[in-house]
Structure 1
């Protein structure tokens, strides 16, 4: 007790007691976030009890249910879920990400002619492998179709695995194969979600060492959800990297949202509940509108011996003809009632005029969580040019990010494995490839181009691209890829052939470069909502 409190305590004990009570109240007052988001005393926060745990506890243990529900929504539980995943797949992968070799010619001391020749040779050899079904271990898809499957599986299940076995085949030039494995098959031996009894840190089928690095994956030989099989369930341990070569044996395609996360989360996970309820609500509205649209006449009679007038639904059209106690409605049907029976129905009030506005509000929230704007989510571009273009630009931020991720985690590692085999077999000359990691990196540099972004006004897009090239903000190769998904070099070679053919045929040049120069005027002016 300080001197002032001692004096007050002597002169006025009641005053001293009030001072002490005030100190205690001050000590329990909220401060900082405890008065807002972390408050536990407000009535609005009393029922909000959430205890976040490790990624393994929060994610891995709940993955099985999340996967099953995500797939159910995709397979018919909610049409919007199917559309969202397919929209992402089509815009990110499309017909497949195409290889564009990007050698470090300066580091490799290659002349311009040597660089062009080597790039053409690489593209030719890679097409031989990637466009063949032999690249697939199942011999069902080429490399570009495998990209679509892997990406869709990752979106739907949270992650997808790709193994890279070397399997010689008759008449096949290359032995590298890609084997896709669905997420469910990567699980703990015995499907135990905790630390394995043998002492290894295995959760969700992913084994880590003492330093927290992934060292192996455990895969079930049979699909875990399939019980009608005579084969005993067994697990195979596959090392993530070759012990001697350091080669990647397994590619794990997943998007991490937390540090130390071992397994991926389905894209639909945050909106599963909203989509399910929206699907149920849509079905209820559809059924109510259907019932409201049926014109059915009910006949009441007090003379049962005469029987009802007319007929009800024909026997062959009844849905449940075995249940005599049920009444079925039909288009223009007549149903006879027993004596003293009557039909009372509530006015369904359908179609519901508020249905579209309510659903639109929910879809905007769902689209925000999925990073797909409402306009693209439902393919509804009825607003202004500026608003529609802004929606596309916003969506393509996500599409490009996922495209780079797919190229880095799937396409590039597989390309490097293929390139290594091509060099080892002498089909591609790459001096010093196995001697120096820098040389190996210089040879395997590559770009991966996918489908181009859609254009609302092609003329404005082309003129803007032309100005970017002329001002040095971009290159013809980049703009060609962005606008059409093609290659400037390939276009140039084709144009040279076409122009030569036109001259030989005696046709005049009608496509001069400056013909449309006046079209550049006013292309940067702001758009109005009337467009």
Structure 2
């Protein structure tokens, strides 16, 4: 009888391996390496961040409101915070604000370029008329509104402007549209809506979770003195609900740059560095006070028995005289303060000790510079642009700093043109068309039919300026001649438009030929002579030789050859 084969452990292992050949591996066998960032050990053992809730005393709304209040206080009282906000606002918006350049797409509207340009010019002209009367408060221009809007976003995190329509018969002017500026802290949640999940920090959401309306505190006289910090007293009857959109028009300008998802209110630009601003301000105050004390008190009275001197001093304050020391026959006099330069005589066993002015320390200047650099880095503004200090930089470093700052300024400028200026221009153009100030060409699409096309515009702000105008001009000429840039792009960096510059240049040329023909002839002759000296090479031809040693004409010895011959 034949015996069955024995199934040894090795045989069973081989059989199982053959059965699993080609099968996928079991996942998750090797445990991942532990990350210090997610563990509670070492120096991060006490690092327990928390998320704020929507309700309660320490809610996200209250934290945002407190941060806004602190930022407003720093910008009002601290030199570094004020310099940061003013620098960014001035360079992004400027003193004259952002100016529109109509960019009506003629091909999409079935128009020729000249007709589209004429319609755009009329919209631009009436925009300039409205800019002088734009503010709800008389005297506020559109440039003032733009400046306050961006400054409010930087200081508080968001801006709130309300478009209103006034009767032109009473107020005068060509337009009824006016813009009323509102402090952002008036955008709050009424007390009776605090538990409503669709109202977030003064912003009402629709059924899809999108911002639909804002609740603006509009208290009655009995609540006029109620503080805006903390919970606003009063119910929704003391507020005004303003929808964000009324049809195709803007009902409430509530603009901010979101930095995270599901965000309905903005945050001040200095929020991450707010502690640095505050501590640096206090540190500078303390150092200044120390210097004042050192300069005002050149002598210090040192006593051998400080406890007895203090008791005698308080006895004097209570109306009695200090005890006689038994040696001088007179009562001791204790000085608490004295004027600078005053000479004082101490009591027995007292000596004068001069104060040593050893503050600030040797590393104080470098420390302040580091802190200011860190504060500017939070907003993306270099140290040189923040403090207007280019004393320790060369041309390349200064230009790199200004270009880095210019990117930040352009970011805020483009954001403001999209979120605020373009909707304003569309509202002004609509009223100008409704009032008959601007007429559209016959056969073209209607105004409301192609509203985004008729009101398309580019926004130009103040120019960035040049460190070395000659080098910058040569670089721009090279870019234009090689087809890498346009005249509009180069002029736009200077805050100018092609139409304005060329129209003025054309007028000046005609005026010069009429009033100063000799000057015009000399300029033309100089241009012709310059063109004849440097002829443009033909396509595929070698460039003309220069005056350098390496490309000297044949038969003319170079300086090196002359030196060798000598």
Find the counterpart in structure 1 of residue 139 from structure 2. Answer: 140
Residues 480-495 of structure 1 aligned to structure 2 (within 5 Å): 480-482=491-493, 484-495=494-505
- Whether 1:370 and 2:379 are equivalent positions in the alignment is yes
Residues 10-409 of structure 1 aligned to structure 2 (within 5 Å): 31-32=32-33, 34-41=34-41, 43-52=42-51, 59-76=60-77, 78-95=78-95, 96-130=97-131, 132=132, 134-170=133-169, 171-190=172-191, 196-197=194-195, 199=196, 201-222=198-219, 226-227=225-226, 234-242=238-246, 245-294=247-296, 296-297=298-299, 303=328, 305=330, 326-330=336-340, 332-342=341-351, 347-381=356-390, 382-409=392-419
Name the CA distance, whole Å, in 1 between partners of 2:54 and 2:385. Answer: 32
Name the CA distance, whole Å, in 2 between partners of 1:328 and 1:428. Answer: 76
- Stretch moving more, 65-74 or 44-53: 44-53
* Offset from partner CA, 1:404-457 (integer Å, 9 cap, x none): 000000100111111111111111123533452xx2111110011111113111
- Stretch moving more, 468-477 or 153-162: 468-477
Once the two structures are TM-superposed, the CA of residue 470 in structure 1 deviates from its matched residue by 1.4
Name the CA distance, whole Å, in 2 between partners of 1:161 and 1:428. Answer: 30
Contact 1:59 1:265 in 2 (8 A): no
RMSD over aligned CA atoms reads 3.3
Find the counterpart in structure 2 of residue 18 from structure 1. Answer: none
Name the CA distance, whole Å, in 2 between partners of 1:343 and 1:60. Answer: 57
Find the counterpart in structure 2 of residue 416 from structure 1. Answer: 426
Contact 1:153 1:160 in 2 (8 A): yes
Once the two structures are TM-superposed, the CA of residue 119 in structure 1 deviates from its matched residue by 2.4
Name the CA distance, whole Å, in 1 between partners of 2:407 and 2:139. Answer: 32
Contact 1:298 1:334 in 2 (8 A): no
Name the CA distance, whole Å, in 1 between partners of 2:329 and 2:500. Answer: 85
Find the counterpart in structure 2 of residue 9 from structure 1. Answer: none
Task: Report the secondary structure of 2:159's partner residue.
Answer: strand
Find the counterpart in structure 2 of residue 23 from structure 1. Answer: none
Contact 2:68 2:156 in 1 (8 A): yes
Once the two structures are TM-superposed, the CA of residue 387 in structure 1 deviates from its matched residue by 1.3
Task: Report the secondary structure of 1:394's partner residue.
Answer: helix
Say which of 471, 478, 481 aligns to 2:482: 471
Once the two structures are TM-superposed, the CA of residue 168 in structure 1 deviates from its matched residue by 1.7
The runs of 5 or more residues in structure 1 that have no matched partner are: 5-25, 309-323, 523-531
Quick check: which has more Rg, 1 or 2?
2
Residues 447-458 of structure 1 aligned to structure 2 (within 5 Å): 447-458=458-469
Identify if the C-alpha distance between structure 1 residues 282 and 513 changes in structure 2 by more than 3 Å, giving closer, same or farther: farther
Name the CA distance, whole Å, in 1 between partners of 2:329 and 2:464. Answer: 71
Contact 1:294 1:329 in 2 (8 A): yes
Contact 2:294 2:355 in 1 (8 A): no
Identify if the C-alpha distance between structure 1 residues 179 and 400 changes in structure 2 by more than 3 Å, giving closer, same or farther: same
Identify if the C-alpha distance between structure 1 residues 31 and 329 changes in structure 2 by more than 3 Å, giving closer, same or farther: farther
> What TM-score results when the alignment is normalised by the length of structure 1?
0.80
Task: Report the secondary structure of 1:164's partner residue.
Answer: strand
Task: Report the secondary structure of 2:366's partner residue.
Answer: helix
Identify if the C-alpha distance between structure 1 residues 221 and 294 changes in structure 2 by more than 3 Å, giving closer, same or farther: same
Identify if the C-alpha distance between structure 1 residues 341 and 290 changes in structure 2 by more than 3 Å, giving closer, same or farther: same
> What TM-score results when the alignment is normalised by the length of structure 2?
0.75
Name the CA distance, whole Å, in 2 between partners of 1:156 and 1:168. Answer: 33
